[in-house]
Amino acid sequence: MKITRRQFLKASAAATAASALPLPALAAGQPSPPTTPLPGLKTPVTGKADKRLNILMIGGTGFTGPEQVEYALARGHKVTLLNRNKRRPDLFKGRVDMLVGDLNADVSALKGRSFDVVLDIPTTAPYWVRNVAQYLKGNVGHYVFISTISVYADNSKPGKDETDATTPMPEGVDPYSTDPALRGSQYSAFKTFSEKLVQETYPVSTIIRPGLIVGPLDPTDRFTYWPVRIDRGGEVLAPGDPNDRVQFIDARDLAEWTIHMIEQRTTGVFNATGPAEPLTVAEMLYGIKAVTTSGAQFTWASADFLEQQKIEAWKHMPVWVPPTGELAGFHFRSVAKAVAAGLKFRPLAVTALDTIEWNKTRTPEARQAQLEGKFNGLSPARETEVLAAWKASRAK
């Protein structure tokens, strides 16, 4: 299966956009969802931090944000959120200070404020960094920017670390554009430019580049598809070579480590994906199966066949990317620096089981969209078609 870097980034940007979609509206008379806790927030906390920090989190109510907020609060820190208060409104009401602002427009709620730390979770556009900086430049002790492993310009070579070249801004593209279409088509370049702007604006900064983030609360099905599909049982279409590598990180591991990096005032640039040791796609799928009682059986179809069937890596077969061509090294990024800085990984079994349990709490609309493969994964009907075609091709 040939998948170009452009196709991969397009799929990644689409998934990011999907994760930012508003939650389904409540029907008339339906009770409001509880403000907290959310299902899946099970990160263990061992004691309070040595020093209570005043932390501003930009975002904080989407997929990864609630984990960051919960862990910071559990460690005893004071948390302020800046967001539009539209997604999960008032989620942490009474537990955090809430500032309402739009990164694309008015963030004047930041005027006259200062913080020990800023944790910038959702920023994808340099304009957002500049907009916030008009109020926070010189008023922040430590700025932590959540970037992406997709900033790298070349993913063809395995084992590359944080020193690898990142994606330059294409000639003729305005880096401060507010056009949402550009945030998608130039996702890698915009994130790269945002990183540099953060480093130039704030003397003490940390850049964290996560890989695929997984676990409870992820609405995109970029990993959730597999635990839910395997738990359903039956014959499961599995992609490529069972020995193909995969990398991802549980949102709760990312949250815990990020807050500890803040507490230790650790600076620099870090890849944040996992696990620490190489993991194959077969180990991932069989590891997920081990926490179910479904008796699912895997049928492995080659990358070339999947391409013929218009089954896309990363999208229809989530997590997996065939280790060839421009993306041969994508699932081989070095995380040695982050591990040396304390990044730890919970067992795959925990992530898989918690994801299955969380998925049961989703709205009927969300679970129906998942079953239809609206964002990522395959519908049962399409999977059955591809399995039949694969068997027919083998019979010939």
CA angle 70, 73, 75 (to 5 degrees): 110
Tens of pLDDT, residues 145-158: 999 999 999 999 99
pLDDT at 2 over 60: no
The CATH-assigned architecture of domain 5-21+35-395 is 3-Layer(aba) Sandwich (3.40)
Q: What percent of the chain has pLDDT over 90?
A: 85
Quote the pLDDT of residue 6: 54
Q: Which two tokens mark 182? A: 């550009």
Helices (H), the chain: 5-19, 65-74, 126-136, 180-185, 187-201, 225-232, 251-264, 281-289, 303-308, 336-340, 348-359, 364-371, 380-395
Residue spans of the domains in the chain: they are 5-21+35-395
Prior bond of 242 cis (ω within 30°):
no
Quote the pLDDT of residue 10: 54
Tens of pLDDT, residues 180-200: 999 889 999 999 999 999 999
Average of per-residue pLDDT across 65-75: 96
Quote the pLDDT of residue 257: 98
More confident residue, 207 or 8: 207
- pLDDT category at 108 given cuts 50, 70, 90 is very high
Distance CA 207, CA 356 (A): 31
**Cβ–Cβ under 8 Å, residues 375 and 316:** no
Tens of pLDDT, residues 267-296: 999 999 999 999 999 999 999 999 999 999
- Comparing 21-25, 84-88, 294-298, the range with the smallest average pLDDT is 21-25
Quote the pLDDT of residue 36: 37
pLDDT at 203 over 90: yes
* Nearest in space to 308 (alpha carbons), one of 2, 63, 6: 2
Quote the pLDDT of residue 4: 54
Average pLDDT, the chain: 90
